[in-house]
Structure 1
Amino acid sequence: MTTIELPSRASAAPPPAPAPAKPSLVGLTRERLAEALSEAGVPERQLKMRSAQLNHWLHNRGAASFDAMTNVSKDLRGALAERFTLARPEIVSEQISVDGTRKWLLRLPAQGPRARPAEIETVYIPEEGRGTLCVSSQVGCTLTCSFCHTGTQTLVRNLTAAEIVGQLVLARDRLGDWSGGAAPEGAVVPGDGGRFVTNIVFMGMGEPLYNLDAVRDAVEVMADGEGLGVGRRKITVSTSGVVPEMRRLGEETGAQLAISLHAVRDELRDVLVPINRKYPIAELLEACRTYPGASNARRITFEYVMLKGVNDSPAEARELVRLLKGIPAKINLIPFNPWPASPYECSDWETIEKFSEIVFRAGYASPVRTPRGRDISAACGQLKSETQRMRAKERLALAAE
């Protein structure tokens, strides 16, 4: 594991700070960019053209200064600079796993005069021929899934759409992943030419469907072909089962759907994923059957964490197959990623293979997700756990002084 120390290293408790006097334009939708341009004095008849121009510079070229926008007039650049910035989320720390996974702890401006700056984590996972960015949609989490360390943290607030998109912009900065021009100073450029961000998964901190308006707008910006250009079929939104919002997610974003399932019986899922008490398995799966756009070409992903002696029996594998009948699906089997004081253990490898074989023989793709970034607490269900542990150590050190 490598940790890159940056000037903005986290303190034991970030002090309260006001929101910046000038907001950033990074991550805004075209509609919001048009509003910013109007504020800067651009005539209404020019707003569509100018917002497209600005969107290209911000989200296709990765411009970090207004001066880089060479086809924008000097007067307009000055007017924008007076009112706005192009700031990205602040990097507190960057950790690099032995397997190439990168985790960024990011600090966001405070929302309000009495609030503290918010901190989230974002993870980049390089794979052969693709690179996946796992983004957060909330600060903390409102759910209390018993196997997930992220779920032990309280919800602080929702992220804005721009803060969600900002995670992708920041990752492209660090990876040198912009079209045209050289990588910015300090960027960590992939060495094999194929490990850039190609896929987005909303599987970081938070429940995306409890922040759907912002998630919808973020997907719009990410999928803009003249901007960030990540295809909607390359964007996956994972939910623990907020049934009333699932149809709207499909209709308004066109994103791929993933379901954090993890159990085939309501009495067990009530413990593992407590939202099941509100939206039980039968109701959740019916919403999957009617999810807009679901087909064999656009299968729903069902995530199933493998917990030793809890949900990993052959009988449960067969029941999973029965439950998913008629749903265009693939099943991701996730070896449990341990965290301190967790009551669970990862299933034995032989058990996982038997479970996978039953599902595969029933006609479902059932890949076993290779754990990535465990050594930097960047694997599924581990986000921010290491950060909290470090903070606890710092508080103890301060108390001893």
Structure 2
Amino acid sequence: MMRGGTLRVAATSGAAVAVGKFTSSTVSSVSLGGLYTVVERPWMRAASQCSSCPSRVVECRSCNRECNSECTLLPVTMVARRSAFSTCDSNKIQWRPNYSRNDHRQPWLIRGMAAGSAAEVLEPAEVPGLPVKEEERPSKPVTPKYLIGKTQEELEDIVLSLGEQKYRGKQMYQLIYKNKIKTVKELAQLPKQLRNAMTEAGWSIGRSPIHHVSTSKDGTVKILLKLEDNRLVEAVGIPVKDKEGNQRLTVCVSSQVGCALRCAFCATGKGGFARNLKAHEIVDQVLSIEDLFRQRVTNIVFMGMGEPLMNLDNVLDAHRTINKELQIGQRMMTISTVGVPNTIRRLATHKLQSTLAISLHAPNQELRSRIVPSAKGYPLDALMEDCKYYFETTGRRLSFEYTLLAGVNDQREHAEELATLLHQWNLGRHVNIIPYNPIADSEFERPTKAKVLAFVETLSKRRVTASVRVTRGLDANAACGQLRNEFQKIPLQASVESPIPV
């Protein structure tokens, strides 16, 4: 073994991993599964069992003064030979075979090892979590891995693989989801050795810093999160008091950075599309809103930036984490879609208990294709057919979103046509009416209150229940994508300082 080499303690039965190192002349603090750096060619002083302590040891430092005799000091080399180890209280010899010089690995007698077990000498690059010199570091970059989204059992497996006890995983689970710790470095309750090993292995919590906060007079808060690639994504916290006077907190989460569907009236589409959000980036929006409000989130709506069904895998993963780890019921979540071919049927197979909201915005194909460009490739009849399939497969009724645009789709005849459409397909007869939230450089205008009431009245006469969504955050740029467009037309440069709120 050469000076500066590394040693990984391994046993035939498997071993956990811990970090330590050799002293200049002896092996100290050696434990099964440990990782050790050789400072000099070591000499081993060892005993199979000490007369004063019950464990097998490499060096009985704790009870050395009480031993009846000195341990024999033996050199360990890379040549083929047998190494002799004596007990503390007799000269009885135990033998352990060494590997030959031609073999890269060499056995060591380590505390707690069964007969026939051996420690293995490894190259620095082979040892996870062990700092190595820059020239020895492998050229392949470490793939980032995120703790948000992991279950308690998965976190326990991670710490076990890094040589720590199982309960550390439960600690980590509480720190991430309850205490909302943002970085591995801040996991102060965990040993520094474990934190360093996690960082070396590429683990991070998966939280993003807040770039900007915009607060409305009505209490609505919109935040911009700065992602790892310096792009910005929005999330909105909406506090509401229910009929019993209890404070509820709804989070409108984004599923993409931008949106490729480019609905004519949507600020997100005007900002362009960059990429899908990863599952942990979606969950992080919920945690960030809880941080700001210092209140537990009660409702989730996937109605922020992007089309959720174009990022279905990550949305489903985030949905599971929000439900299982953040303990927000499925029935308290809504997934909104303008309609993407084949995805509604795929979503139906998961049989979620959450509400599926269909963004119609028009009662016929001709008008819908004008304001929703994707409708040209996914006609209204095909969308409604998929909605019917979803209802029959899951038993869950759908809701329909309808943004009222002044002079475009807000006339009484449009309401009549919408009611006819819903009756024709025998689907859920609830429509959420959304008066248009004006954005800069838009050709559309917000309808008058009289037009909104007339539209609702017409639907009611046709036995279609309609509710008008109260517009929140007009003074906080709360329309989807509006705040993000104000701050970012292109990705931020890495050197940009983020104004993080107090």
* Alignment TM-score, normalising by the size of structure 1: 0.76
* Inter-CA distance 22–209: structure 2 relative to 1 (3 Å threshold): closer
Matched, 1:371 2:471: yes
- Are 1:371 and 1:379, in contact at CA under 8 Å, matched by a contact in 2? no
* Inter-CA distance 363–58: structure 2 relative to 1 (3 Å threshold): farther
Deviation at 1:308, TM superposition (A): 1.2
The 1-side partners of 2:384 and 2:191 are apart by: 54
Match of 1:246 in 2: 344
- Are 2:369 and 2:375, in contact at CA under 8 Å, matched by a contact in 1? yes
The 1-side partners of 2:477 and 2:159 are apart by: 41
What one-letter code is carried by the residue in structure 1 that aligns with 2:215?
I
SS of alignment partner, residue 300 of structure 2: strand
Please tell me whether Structure 1 or Structure 2 has the larger radius of gyration of its CA atoms: 2
Matched, 1:40 2:162: yes
Equivalent of 2:282, from 164, 171, 190?
A: 164
Matched, 1:123 2:228: no
The farther-off stretch of 238-247 and 74-83 is: 74-83
**What are the superposed Cα offsets for residues 247-297 of structure 1, whole Å, 9 maximum, x if unpaired?**
2223336132111110011111111111111111111111111215655xx
Deviation at 1:384, TM superposition (A): 2.0
Deviation at 1:300, TM superposition (A): 1.4
Give the unaligned 5+ runs of structure 1. 1-18, 111-116, 178-195, 393-401
- Are 1:334 and 1:369, in contact at CA under 8 Å, matched by a contact in 2? yes
Q: Which has the higher helix share?
A: 1
- Are 2:187 and 2:195, in contact at CA under 8 Å, matched by a contact in 1? no
Match of 2:363 in 1: 264
The 2-side partners of 1:167 and 1:59 are apart by: 13
* Inter-CA distance 74–152: structure 2 relative to 1 (3 Å threshold): closer
Matched, 1:151 2:269: yes
* Inter-CA distance 337–175: structure 2 relative to 1 (3 Å threshold): same
- Are 1:141 and 1:154, in contact at CA under 8 Å, matched by a contact in 2? yes
What one-letter code is carried by the residue in structure 2 that aligns with 1:175?
F
SS of alignment partner, residue 482 of structure 2: coil
The 2-side partners of 1:35 and 1:272 are apart by: 50
Aligned-pair Cα RMSD in Å? 3.0
SS of alignment partner, residue 439 of structure 2: coil
* Alignment TM-score, normalising by the size of structure 2: 0.62
The 2-side partners of 1:212 and 1:341 are apart by: 31
Matched, 1:26 2:148: yes
Deviation at 1:32, TM superposition (A): 6.3
Match of 1:190 in 2: none
The 2-side partners of 1:324 and 1:32 are apart by: 45
Matched, 1:275 2:388: no
Deviation at 1:322, TM superposition (A): 1.3
The 2-side partners of 1:253 and 1:274 are apart by: 29
- Are 1:317 and 1:359, in contact at CA under 8 Å, matched by a contact in 2? yes
What one-letter code is carried by the residue in structure 2 that aligns with 1:132?
T
* Inter-CA distance 360–50: structure 2 relative to 1 (3 Å threshold): farther
Matches within 5 A, 1:78-97: 79-80=197-198, 82-83=200-201, 84-86=203-205, 88-97=207-216
Q: How many residues align?
A: 341
The 2-side partners of 1:388 and 1:354 are apart by: 38
- Are 2:220 and 2:472, in contact at CA under 8 Å, matched by a contact in 1? yes
What one-letter code is carried by the residue in structure 1 that aligns with 2:287?
V
Equivalent of 1:385, from 472, 481, 485?
A: 485
- Are 1:321 and 1:359, in contact at CA under 8 Å, matched by a contact in 2? yes
Match of 1:16 in 2: none
- Percent of aligned positions that are identical: 40
Match of 1:107 in 2: 226
The 2-side partners of 1:287 and 1:56 are apart by: 41
- Are 1:294 and 1:328, in contact at CA under 8 Å, matched by a contact in 2? no
The farther-off stretch of 265-274 and 298-307 is: 298-307
Give the unaligned 5+ runs of structure 2. 1-140, 242-246, 493-502
- Are 1:337 and 1:381, in contact at CA under 8 Å, matched by a contact in 2? no
